[in-house]
Amino acid sequence: MRIIVGFPPGQTGDISARLLGQWLSDRLGQPFVIENRPGASSSIATELVVNAPPDGYTLLWMVTSNYINATLKTNLPYNFIRDIEPVASTTRSTLVAVVNPSVPVKTVPELIGYAKANPGKLNMASGRHRQLDAPGW
């Protein structure tokens, strides 16, 4: 069995996948190999799993960025909703976008449109500790 993780070793998703892989291996008597395929906010790993033989031996360690990508990116080489089948939930995370009532938006697409139409007028904070002007953004 393979569990594909879309981030480098040592990050939260990798550690969680390794712990669960060991637990499953102990109980099922089947080795679970963790493969790290970092890049593109887990899209590289997701594409690998989508294109893997449909034999049940390749699993994707899903993380928050998987459903963010599925929601916001229109050029993915797969259809996340169609091509990935959930098997189990191991953790939960909450995503929240909060805007000041003075910002004239009610939805995420409206917020994105407003930000694009008004460059430099919005400030943001994120638990990911990245700056919007940082390389890679």
Both 111 and 64 in one domain: the answer is: no
Among candidate residues 63, 19, 21, the one with its CA nearest the CA of residue 43:
63
- Position 128 scores a pLDDT of 53
What H or E segment, with its residue span, contains residue 5?
strand 2-5
pLDDT digits (tens, 9 = 90+) for 44-97: 999 999 999 999 999 999 988 888 888 888 899 999 989 999 899 887 777 778
Both 72 and 107 in one domain: the answer is: no
- Position 124 scores a pLDDT of 78
For residue 51, which amino acid is it? N
**What do you get for the CA distance between the two ends of the chain, in Å?**
34
Question: Partners of 60 in the beta sheet?
Answer: 4
Both 71 and 15 in one domain: the answer is: yes
Domain that holds residue 30: 2-83
Among candidate residues 47, 7, 128, the one with its CA nearest the CA of residue 15:
7
Question: Partners of 34 in the beta sheet?
Answer: 3
Residue 88, domain member (yes or no):
no
Both 13 and 42 in one domain: the answer is: yes
pLDDT digits (tens, 9 = 90+) for 96-111: 788 889 999 999 899 9
Residue 89, domain member (yes or no):
no
Residue 52, domain member (yes or no):
yes
- Spatial neighbors of 105 by CB under 8 A, at least 6 apart, are 99, 111, 113, 114
- Position 129 scores a pLDDT of 44
- Spatial neighbors of 8 by CB under 8 A, at least 6 apart, are 14, 36, 38
Both 77 and 101 in one domain: the answer is: no
pLDDT digits (tens, 9 = 90+) for 5-44: 999 999 888 999 999 999 999 999 999 999 999 999 899 9
Pairing mode, strands 58-61 and 33-36: unpaired
Both 56 and 120 in one domain: the answer is: no
Pairing mode, strands 2-5 and 33-36: parallel
What's the structural domain count of the chain? Answer: 2
Residue 91, domain member (yes or no):
no
